[in-house]
Each structure stands twice: as structure tokens, then as C-alpha cells.
Structure 1
């Protein structure tokens, strides 16, 4: 199933070449992860402040296929592939009107913010994530 969201390329995202400055794609990705968790009922405020849990990225690989420009609307897909004890491996894609701009994979880890260490996914979060799992 996966998760889909959109993001607009704004002036702050582009560089002197008038294309998205590549680190901004990681900000778009982080925003999409935040949207995904909110869609699962686990907004980042509640997750970080009330539950003292974080979901940092511990691995990220990507390939850039084409540049994005000011005003583009990025279609962002997050497709979880494997949910481990405390990790979630996923693929992601960003495209504009069907043209791929960047694709890759990453791993998120459930982290106890106070202890600064990985912990198992709480049952409610694991259940919510499973609903988005993409089985190959």
C-alpha cells in the first residue's frame, strides 16, 4: 500500500542553478515521514514530547534522476518493506507529473529519547505501520 504525500518546491529550496539544492530533498523526505506518522495517528509532537520516542534515520541511500524546479509539486511515496524489532526499512520516490526525480531507501529506528538507544516498536505503532507495508 505505502504512503503518499505532496510537497511544493519553494524559493528557499532552490540554489543558484534554479534547481532544488540536493540536501533539501532530505528535508522533503523527513517531512513526508512526519506526515506518514501523523497519518498513522502518531504525530511528531505526541511522539517526541508525550511518549519520548523518536524515529531517526540510521541509513539512507538515494539516486538522483532529474532536477526539480521552483513551483514543482513533488509526489512523495514512502513504501515500508520490512518492520523489524526496532527498525523499519523503506523505499521512497519523489516524482513530478510521473517523472522520477529521486529514489532510494532508508531505515528508521524507534528510539527512546531519554536513554538515546533503540527500543522495540510499541504495539500500536507496529500495528499502524503494518497497514502501510508493501510486500514484494
Structure 2
């Protein structure tokens, strides 16, 4: 399945008073890594693929992480993101964050492909065949 690696330099504002990354910021990093992975798979920026596929977004319905090692201001970490499962209208992503080549965090997320309803809400919609093929492909 499709995968991508992203580098992130930890900024001062990412850290808590103890000098380590404040844990919600990791989920921001992972959200950006997922958007970057899909942009690479679809060969277009997120603002374009939202319009191209006529969707409202890819909201998260499940997430979690196992924190093994902290990261600090100035560290350059690597996030390896990969599609692990494709459902009817959902997909799962695994993120492995490495700091100095060592696993610091293992995280997962499940997202749903959603379209807008005529009433202005959102509803899940099946993954298009093109999207499924692109996400099944190894880079």
C-alpha cells in the first residue's frame, strides 16, 4: 500500500515547559503527514484533491498513539506514514515517528471519505475506484 516519509523539525512552540513536544502537537504532525501522503498519491495539493473528488474532507473517527521516547526543540524527526487498510468509505494509516533512527512513537488513525449533504451536513461516501487504486499502489 502507499507510503511516504516526512521530516519535521521540532520548533520551540511545539514544546511544553518541560522542553519536550506537547503530545497534541504530534497529532498535528500526523494530520499533516496524512495530507502530504495523500497529496503525493493523488499528485495534487489537498485543496485540489478535495475539489477534484468532490469531498468535504477526511475526518478522523479513531486515533491513538504509543509514546516510547520524547522529542525536543531542534530535533529533526522522521514520520513514516503508510496506508494499512481500505474499507468501503474509510482508510487506516499507521505513523511511525523516528528520532535519531529510533522509534519514538507508533500511532494509528482511521479516516472516512465524506461528502456534503444537500442539507449542509456530511455523510460517508465510498472511496472512488481511482483513489482505491492509488492508495493500494506502492510508491
> What residue in structure 2 maps to residue 45 of structure 1?
47
- TM-score relative to the length of structure 2: 0.87
List gaps (5 residues or longer) in structure 1. Answer: none
Q: By how many angstroms is 1:49 displaced?
A: 4.3
What's the RMSD between the two structures over aligned residues?
1.8
- What does residue 12 of structure 2 align with? 11
Alpha-carbon separation, structure 2, partners of 1:24 and 1:91: 17
Q: Which residue of 2 aligns with 1:95?
A: 98
Contact 2:15 2:72 in 1 (8 A): yes
Report how many aligned residue pairs link the two structures: 133
What residue in structure 2 maps to residue 59 of structure 1? 62
Deviations 1:23-81 (A, max 9, x none): 00000000101110110124210133452331111100211001100111111011212
Moved over 6 A (4+): none
Unaligned stretches of 5+ residues in structure 2:
none
Contact conserved, 1:54 with 1:113, CA < 8 A, in 2? no
Q: CA deviation at 1:22?
A: 0.4
Equivalent residue for 1:111? 114
1:77 to 61, 77, 80: 80
Residue aligned with 1:4, SS:
strand
Q: What secondary structure is seen at the aligned counterpart in 2 of 1:53?
A: coil
* TM-score, with structure 1 as normaliser: 0.88
